Amino acid sequence: MTDKMLSRKEGKVGYLTFNNPERHNAVSLDMWEAAEGFLDDFKKDDNIRVVVVTGAGGKAFVSGADISKFDKERSSKEMVDRYNESVDRANNAFFNFPKPTIAMIRGYCIGGGVGLALCCDMRICTEGSKFGVPAAKLGLGYRYDGLKKLVDLVGPSYAKEIFYTARQFTAAEAQMMGLVNRVLPDAPGELEKYVADYAETIAGNAPITVDSIKFIVGQVLKDPDKRDLKGCEDWVTRAFASADYTEGRKAFMEKRKPQFTGR
């Protein structure tokens, strides 16, 4: 397991950190593979209800692929295929993760960093953060799944602007586009405290309700012929049959904070 990925658990919140600060948290093959393993651990832990994804060092969230590793990891067609398969698996693990995810962004969020952030449910950043996809400056192709996630979030016009110009956008511009949910001051610790409180707020709500919303919104974003409508109804039925639904009503009548168990 690489030391370039860090994982920790604080109460009901799991934290996953891309730990390659000397390269602005550029991601190598072993980092993608480790991330997938950590996510699987968070998924299996019933006590973890929210996952926060971030980058170490305070200067970058993720700045894309680690180009210094390309000779070692992407120097042949077979190696490129393996690399792409690993990246696809990791991004799918983030995007399809059944619990809420928050991208906590401080500094540069570039290329694959934007792609990773798009795989999270929410994105919260600092005022000084920068966003960009420089594919057109490098002559790269960009695949359908990644573009669809961006278009779903910001719409076709902003998606084209991001790719056509290949420039870096400010946090204010990213929020205007709908790329990020919240923008926080750059003051040390403020982003981290806000996101921790935000994650705890989500973790304190009924897990079945929260997870059902994630599932159903995911179905809405699929092509109509690929939507699992029965699965959506099953989630709703499960929520109304849960002990948490009973606890929520009881706590409301008793004017106290509910104690949800996810059952």
Give, for 55, the enclosing helix (H) or strand (E).
strand 50-55
How does pLDDT run along the chain (263 residues), one tens digit per residue? 689 999 999 999 999 999 999 999 999 889 999 999 999 999 999 999 999 999 999 999 999 877 777 777 666 778 778 878 888 899 999 999 999 999 999 999 999 999 999 999 999 999 999 999 999 998 888 889 999 999 999 999 999 999 999 999 999 999 999 999 999 999 999 999 999 999 999 999 999 999 999 999 999 999 999 999 999 999 999 999 999 999 999 999 999 999 999 99
Cα→Cα distances 153→72, 123, 145, 146, 150, Å: 34, 11, 13, 11, 5
Q: Residue 73: its pLDDT value, please?
A: 64
Question: What's the CA angle centered on 259, arms 256 and 263, to 5 degrees?
Answer: 140
Cα→Cα distances 47→42, 53, 126, 187, Å: 9, 17, 29, 31
Alpha-carbon span 147 to 133, nearest angstrom: 11
Place of tokens 């109460």: 11
- Alpha-carbon torsion, ordered 105, 189, 27, 13, to 10 deg: -80
Give domain 5-202's CATH architecture. Alpha-Beta Complex (3.90)
Q: Residue 141: its pLDDT value, please?
A: 84
Q: Residue 3: its pLDDT value, please?
A: 92
Domain ranges of the chain: 5-202, 205-254
Instruction: Kindly report the pTM of this predicted structure.
Output: 0.94
Alpha-carbon span 61 to 119, nearest angstrom: 14
Contact (Cβ atoms closer than 8 angstroms) between residue 97 and residue 43: yes
Q: Residue 143: its pLDDT value, please?
A: 87
- Alpha-carbon torsion, ordered 167, 172, 178, 181, to 10 deg: 130
